[in-house]
A and B are shown apart, each in its own frame.
Chain A
Amino acid sequence: MKARALASLAVASMVLAGCGILPASPQPAPSTYLPEPSPSEGDTPGALSPDGFTAAQRMTVRVRNIGCGFLSTGSGFALDAHTLVTNRHVVENAATVEVSTYDGRIIQAKAASTTTVADIAIVSTEQSLGAAFAVRAAADPVRGDVITVVGYPNGGRLTTASGVVLGASADPLGGAVGPVLASSVSIAPGSSGSPAFNEKGEVVGVIYAKNFSNQSFLVPISTLNTLLTEKSLLVPATDSCTT
């Protein structure tokens, strides 16, 4: 008798306790499975424009130096709608400087300023260079950092090449005041003035030379930042055909 009573109690306890762990009915299924739109990445340097070009490619321009009896090409990149950065030697002795954008627009340069501190020139234009502009890094890259260079080697097609920073070095051409950066990025004549980007898409340097070991050299972004801050270091470039 006593055992049966205990069994009944146990059953009742189990029934009552079971209510606490009973599976619940499913929640109503969602009416749509479409994800919420994510924040646009259209403003980042790596983002593609509708025509399939990245911001880094859109801000990079081909520079044509039409001198008196010679023609040379280089690269550059837009700082804003009417200002671009290239190398001093790219626009040196120019009668006219023309800029070609990634989509084939040809823009006449209005004026150029150069400096003796580094192989840098700042060129201004009447027409707009486009809508993609350089975001300058606050600090120079260090040894081992991966960089990507976008430019027009040999005056040809818009090209992207990657490598790593090999470290600070003295200017192999002996013209720069401060140290420059050596990198493993393979470049060619015509790449001069190309922007070098870090992995965040910020400009960390400006390509200006290479050596026989196929190492390339960059003007570090800190030098460019200083030049853009200290405008007195920049002087107007002279027209070689009138001097």
Chain B
Amino acid sequence: MNEPPVEWRFDDYTPTPRILPPRRASWRRARSALAIVAIVGLAALSAYLWSVNGTWVRQNETLRESASSLGAQLAQASADALAAQSELDDATARIRSLVNDEAQAGDKALVLTDVGAKLVECADARAQHIRYLNSASRYTAASLTANEAAVNEFCTSVIAAYVDAVAST
């Protein structure tokens, strides 16, 4: 009861078209899209970087010029300030010197005025003593001698003070 074997014949073969699976086809499209996106992105990035670089370079040049100009101005201002400070120091020293001269002159004027008043007292005392001598009969010799000594002592001290005052001027 066995059936006879089926004879396979070459003529029966008809080739069928090769069709890729749907999944592999979409992957290829995505890959191409990604490549395009990457190329466009890189181009945009390059353009941006080029633009930014140009902006930085231009601003850097501007800032360098500005810094150089400000540096020159600062150097000039510093030199002017130093010169002004030197003049101010000189003026301050001059003011101190003048104020001191005025104070010393004031001191000396006061001393000389005082000494002058004492010299007048000395002259008055001597004039008085001469009047005593003119009326010597009215006074004792001892009192006249004592008065003369007192007047001489006073006048000697006043003259010494005058000499000192003049010497210090």
What residues make up the interface of A, taking CB atoms closer than 8 Å to B? 4-5, 8-9, 11-12, 15-16, 18-19, 22-26, 29, 33, 51-53, 62, 64, 66, 69, 71, 73, 98, 100, 102-104, 106, 152, 155-158
* Interface secondary structure of B, over-half rule: helix
Q: Verify if B124 is at the interface (C-beta below 8 Å from A).
A: no
Give the docked Cα–Cα distance between A53 and B95 (Å): 10
State which of A9, A19, A22, A104 has its C-beta within 8 Å of the C-beta of B99: A104
Question: Is the beta-carbon distance between B59 and A26 smaller than 8 angstroms?
Answer: yes
12 further A-B contacts with Cβ under 8 Å, apart from A24-B52, A71-B114, are A22-B45, A22-B48, A25-B51, A51-B92, A51-B95, A53-B95, A64-B106, A71-B110, A106-B106, A156-B100, A158-B96, A158-B99
CA distance A137 to B27 in the complex (A): 86
Residue of A nearest to B62 (CB): A29
Residue of B nearest to A10 (CB): B38
Closest to A9 in B: B34
- Cβ-defined contact, B97 with A157, below 8 A: yes
Q: Which residues of B contact A (CB under 8 A)?
A: 27, 31, 34-35, 37-38, 41-42, 45, 48-49, 51-52, 55-56, 59, 62-63, 66, 70, 88-89, 91-92, 95-100, 102-104, 106-107, 110-111, 114
CA distance A71 to B88 in the complex (A): 33
For B56, B102, B106, which residue has the most chain A Cβ atoms within 10 angstroms? B106
- A69 to B114, Cβ gap below 8 A? yes
- Which residues on the B side are within 8 Å of A53 (C-beta)? 92, 95
B52 A23 Cβ-Cβ under 8 A: yes
Q: Are A26 and B45 in contact (CB under 8 A)?
A: no
**A155-B107 in contact (CB<8A):** yes
**Do the beta carbons of A103 and B95 come within 8 Å of each other?**
yes
A51-B91, A155-B107 known; A25-B55 Cβ under 8 A: yes
18 intermolecular pairs with C-beta atoms under 8 Å apart: A15-B42, A22-B45, A23-B52, A23-B56, A29-B62, A33-B70, A51-B92, A51-B95, A52-B91, A52-B92, A71-B114, A73-B107, A100-B106, A102-B99, A104-B98, A104-B99, A157-B96, A157-B99
On chain A, the residues within 8 Å of B95 by CB distance are: 51-53, 102-104
CB proximity of B135 to chain A, nearest CB, Å:
31
Whether B31 and A5, one on each chain, are in contact in the complex, defined by CB atoms closer than 8 angstroms, is yes
B45 to chain A, nearest CB (A): 6
Please state if B66 and A12 are interface contacts (CB–CB under 8 Å). no
Tell me the nearest residue of chain A to B69, going by C-beta: A33
Cross-chain contact of A52 among B59, B88, B114 (Cβ < 8 A): B88
Determine if B55 and A26 form an interchain contact, defined as CB atoms under 8 angstroms apart.
yes
Chain A residues near B59: list those with CB within 8 A: 26, 29
- CB neighbours (8 Å) of A4 from chain B are 31
Residues of B within 8 A of A69 (CB): 114
